[in-house]
Structure 1
Amino acid sequence: MDSLTQFTLGAAVSALCLGKKLGPRKSALLGGILGTVPDLDVFLPFDNPVDAFVLHRGWTHSFFIHALATPVVGEILVRSIGALRESRARVWLTVFLCFTTHAIIDAMTVYGTRIFWPFDPDPVGVGSIFIIDPLYTVPLLIVVIWAFFSANWTSRFQSWLVAALIFSTSYMGLSIALQAHVENRAETIFADAGIDARNVFAIAGPFNTIVWKVIGQEDDRYHNLYISLFDEDDEQARVYTHPTRSDLTACLEGNDAFEKLRWFSRGYFGTALQGGKVVISDLRMGLTPSYVFRFAVAEYAAGNVRSIPPQAIEGQLTSLSDDLNWLADRFVGQPSVRAAEASGGEPYGTTETASCVERQTSG
């Protein structure tokens, strides 16, 4: 999740564990720092933008690495902070919790987090909560701000701290139940529309768990569906359909960047032509055609495809006001057509059929 959320969660956890020893202010500051440590992997060098994308939230987010790092970091704290010298077990537990809770809430987003690396290299990405969700973060932020203005531990502060952690954790758990509910509704909507969708995946909408984006896949196309918890019924649900461009993906077998993107996205990727390039988009992050992570992995010319070193491509701009109005309507359960997807077909670029002259070079 976002850095503010990671800081506040670590601060709240540390304040609960060490607040009586260090005081609310010092314990919250210490936990906030520990809670951001796993994201230091953003400073690691990567060979290309695809590696930077798929390898983020890697080994620094692994429970196994956290377990190895905890005694080292914990012992440094015990020996350098006098008030903690008689609380080694509690300090080690605090360090481990600050590290692992960071990874856990990251795994609840759709991006994916390798919490079981190296035993399982695949990222866990539940997708039941958006990377920024005020309803999760604000209760924690309130008690952390309170902690920074409190020199002494009080039972009143402790009660509010526990309540904030319980509320945020319960909300996170509720999001999983809401996701399952939305996926069940989506399967019914797809079936009623005569769509034999597989791999139906509901993803929390921006900043909320009221509006959900659902992806359903078929062999030659994928479908986007937007469901609000406040919809009165699903009869007016609008399904937006786009081609998968299998003619393009067939030319990319053996392309290293494409294989990594296909693996990391768990198959939820889109392929299109833009500016003479074959562009791969992670369908889980962003709205068609404004996907957050898009990469050119091949060149296209005269019906032929050649692999190239991967390049990051900016998402196609859509009307912000149109999308905001559409999202506001869907938030309250009002039927609304998303103009950027209403035409269907290829989201961007040409629809000319491609053929392969080279299946893989660099990239």
Structure 2
Amino acid sequence: MDSLTQFALGAAVSTVCLGKTLGPRKAALLGGALGTIPDLDVFLPFDNPVDAFVLHRGWTHSLFVHAVAAPVIGELLVRTIKALKDHRWMVWLTVFLCFSTHALIDGITVYGTRLFWPFFEDPVGVGSLFIIDPLYTLPIVGVVIWALARSQWSLRLRNGLAAVLLFTTAYMGLSVVLQSHIENRAQAIFAKAGIEADRVFAIAGPLNTVVWKVIGMEDDRYHNLYLSLLDDESEPRIYTHPRHPELVAGLGDNDAFQKLEWFSRGYYRAELEGEQIVVSDLRMGLTPSYVFRFAIAEQRGDTVTSIPPVPLSNRTGTIGQDLDWLADRLVGQPTVRQAEADALPNCGTIVLTC
């Protein structure tokens, strides 16, 4: 999740645990700082941009590392802050909860979080919440502002914190249920269109859990399907794009490609831009504006040569169109996404290809 959410969640958790001991304001500030610590891995040195991409949310987000680090940092706090000296176990628990809740809500987004490192290397990325979701974040921010404004603990504040944390946790759980519903609906739509997708993955749309992007994967192509919880009975449009597996067929020994294929869980496409072979993670961003795109090789004639990975800009000038499109989809209005359909013939079917 975004940095504001992580600070606010850490502050809320710490205030629940230590607000009566430290006072709401100090507990919130302490928890906000603790809730930010796992993301300090962005300052770690990486060998190249692909490593920075796939290794972020790595060992600093591991629940096992948190269990080891919590007594160390907790003991430092106990010995440094006089008011905490008789509350050792609660302080240790607070540190662990501030770290682990950070990692867990990161894991509910699509990016991927290595929650179980080093025993399980693969990142967990559920994808049922967008990285910024106001319905999740704003209630926590509101109750944290309340805590920061108070120097004295109160039963009313405790109840407010508990209610907000229960609500946001329930909302997170609901998002997983909605994701499963959307995936089941998408599979039926693909089957009706004669598409045999090997895998189907629903991802929460920008800033909400009403509109969902669904990716249906095949070997040589992928399908985008945008579904709203408020859709009527009209047939949804399916946007089909090539994956160009032939471009990366000879890159089995390319370290950058291997890492991108692993991290994306196979949800990637390759493109030839000039002489550069570019790989995009299909899970983050909307076609063609993918957030993470890397040039990893060059093709000259029949010769393919690996190059040091280069991150590429994803700016396409479609933001205004997409905002209008998203507004329509949020109310269930069937609308063509122009960024994927401008150059396509009006073929009169629900499957659009390019």
Alignment of 1:281-292 (within 5 A): 281-292=280-291
Q: Does the 8 A contact of 1:290 with 1:318 survive in 2?
A: no
How far off its partner does 1:201 sit?
0.2
How far off its partner does 1:274 sit?
1.3
Deviations 1:218-261 (A, max 9, x none): 1211000000000012x420000011102102122211100000
How far off its partner does 1:53 sit?
0.2
Match of 2:331 in 1: 332
Match of 2:164 in 1: 164
Match of 1:195 in 2: 195
Match of 1:359 in 2: none
Deviations 1:132-170 (A, max 9, x none): 000000110001001111010011111111111011111
SS of 2:250's equivalent in the other structure is: helix
Tell me, in whole angstroms, the C-alpha distance in 2 between the residues paired with 1:109 and 1:225: 19
SS of 1:123's equivalent in the other structure is: coil
Match of 2:236 in 1: 237
**TM-score where L is the length of structure 2:** 0.96
How far off its partner does 1:34 sit?
0.3
Deviations 1:196-219 (A, max 9, x none): 012100000000000000000112
In the alignment, structure 1 residue 264 sits paired with structure 2 residue 284: no
Alignment of 1:1-363 (within 5 A): 1-233=1-233, 235-342=234-341, 343=344
Structure 1 window deviating more from structure 2 (244-253 vs 109-118): it is 244-253
Tell me, in whole angstroms, the C-alpha distance in 2 between the residues paired with 1:86 and 1:247: 64
| Identity across the alignment (%) | 67
How far off its partner does 1:323 sit?
1.1
Tell me, in whole angstroms, the C-alpha distance in 2 between the residues paired with 1:311 and 1:321: 27
Tell me, in whole angstroms, the C-alpha distance in 2 between the residues paired with 1:196 and 1:254: 30
Tell me, in whole angstroms, the C-alpha distance in 2 between the residues paired with 1:143 and 1:223: 41
**TM-score where L is the length of structure 1:** 0.93
How far off its partner does 1:345 sit?
5.2
- Which blocks of at least 5 consecutive residues in structure 1 are unaligned? 347-363
Deviations 1:63-91 (A, max 9, x none): 11101101110001111111111110100
Q: Does the 8 A contact of 2:7 with 2:31 survive in 1?
A: yes
Q: Does the 8 A contact of 2:245 with 2:269 survive in 1?
A: no
Q: Does the 8 A contact of 1:318 with 1:340 survive in 2?
A: no
SS of 1:33's equivalent in the other structure is: helix
SS of 1:131's equivalent in the other structure is: coil
One-letter identity of the residue aligned with 2:295: A
Match of 1:360 in 2: none
Q: Does the 8 A contact of 1:10 with 1:102 survive in 2?
A: yes
Match of 2:348 in 1: none
SS of 1:321's equivalent in the other structure is: helix
Q: Does the 8 A contact of 1:257 with 1:310 survive in 2?
A: yes
Q: Does the 8 A contact of 2:113 with 2:123 survive in 1?
A: yes
SS of 1:177's equivalent in the other structure is: helix
Tell me, in whole angstroms, the C-alpha distance in 2 between the residues paired with 1:125 and 1:275: 33
SS of 2:298's equivalent in the other structure is: strand
One-letter identity of the residue aligned with 1:194: G
Runs of 4+ in structure 1 over 4 Å off = none
Tell me, in whole angstroms, the C-alpha distance in 2 between the residues paired with 1:270 and 1:316: 17
One-letter identity of the residue aligned with 2:121: P
Tell me, in whole angstroms, the C-alpha distance in 1 between the residues paired with 2:315 and 2:163: 42
Tell me, in whole angstroms, the C-alpha distance in 1 between the residues paired with 2:52 and 2:128: 24
Tell me, in whole angstroms, the C-alpha distance in 2 between the residues paired with 1:192 and 1:101: 41
One-letter identity of the residue aligned with 1:51: D
Tell me, in whole angstroms, the C-alpha distance in 1 between the residues paired with 2:273 and 2:175: 36
One-letter identity of the residue aligned with 1:338: R
Tell me, in whole angstroms, the C-alpha distance in 2 between the residues paired with 1:322 and 1:68: 48
Aligned residues: 345
Match of 2:349 in 1: none
Could you say what the CA RMSD is over the residues aligned between the two structures, in angstroms?
A: 1.0
Structure 1 window deviating more from structure 2 (98-107 vs 335-344): it is 335-344
How far off its partner does 1:316 sit?
4.4
Tell me, in whole angstroms, the C-alpha distance in 2 between the residues paired with 1:43 and 1:304: 37
Q: Does the 8 A contact of 1:253 with 1:259 survive in 2?
A: yes
Deviations 1:17-73 (A, max 9, x none): 000000100000000000000001000000000000000000000011101101110
One-letter identity of the residue aligned with 2:100: T
Deviations 1:82-115 (A, max 9, x none): 1111110100000000000000000000000001
Tell me, in whole angstroms, the C-alpha distance in 2 between the residues paired with 1:345 and 1:52: 34
How far off its partner does 1:308 sit?
0.8
